[in-house]
Amino acid sequence: MANEIFFDTSGLFSIVVNDDDKHETASDIVRRVIKNGNRLVATDYIINETATLLKAWEHAQAISNLFDGVMSSRTCRIDWMDPEHFDSTKAFFLKHHDHEWSFTDCFSFIVMRSAGILDALTKDAHFKEAGFNPLLL
């Protein structure tokens, strides 16, 4: 759906961590998405990565807010890894072995392509390389 924006790990991190260099920009984008009645899309892998990153970078106090905010939001839709997604992601990952894309990146690309999403709230240049529009670069 064209009115959806994908939440990548770096974008979700930027929202949750107030002193992140892209916090204000990411927050403005999310406010516009909500105001316009659009949706944010993430995967369980993105939530996993973000929680792990928060813990590793000593922002553990923000993990509860991450889980509570994403899981209770009517604005955010979560796509979950299941056997079909895993098979598609594995095939995509193996096909594109010449790129430095992570398995999580590939799952994100599969979800975005199947939903027709072009914009990603991310600082990750891999999204641009894969043909998407990274909103935080």
Predicted model pTM: 0.94
pLDDT in tens, 78-103: 999 999 999 999 999 999 999 999 99
Share of the chain above pLDDT 70, in %: 99
CA distances from 45 to 31, 37, 86, 99 (A): 24, 25, 11, 19
What is residue 12's predicted lDDT score, i.e. its pLDDT?
A: 96
pLDDT of residue 135 exceeding 90, the answer is: yes
Does the structure show a pLDDT above 70 at 1?
Answer: no
Domains of the chain, with CATH numbers?
Answer: 4-134 (3.40.50.1010)
Query: Is the pLDDT score of 38 beyond 70?
Result: yes
Separation CA 2–CA 5 (nearest Å) = 8
Q: With pLDDT > 90 as the criterion, what percentage of the chain qualifies? A: 97
Contact 8, 48 (CB under 8 A): no
pLDDT confidence bin for 57, thresholds 50/70/90: very high
Residue range 55-64: mean pLDDT, rounded: 95
Q: What pLDDT shows up at residue 104? A: 98
Residue 2: per-residue pLDDT: 59
In terms of C-beta density within 10 A (0-12 exposed, 13-18 middle, 19 or more buried), how is residue 127 classed?
buried
DSSP string, 18-58: TTSTTHHHHHHHHHHHHHTT-EEEEEHHHHHHHHHHHHHTT
Average pLDDT across the chain, whole number = 96
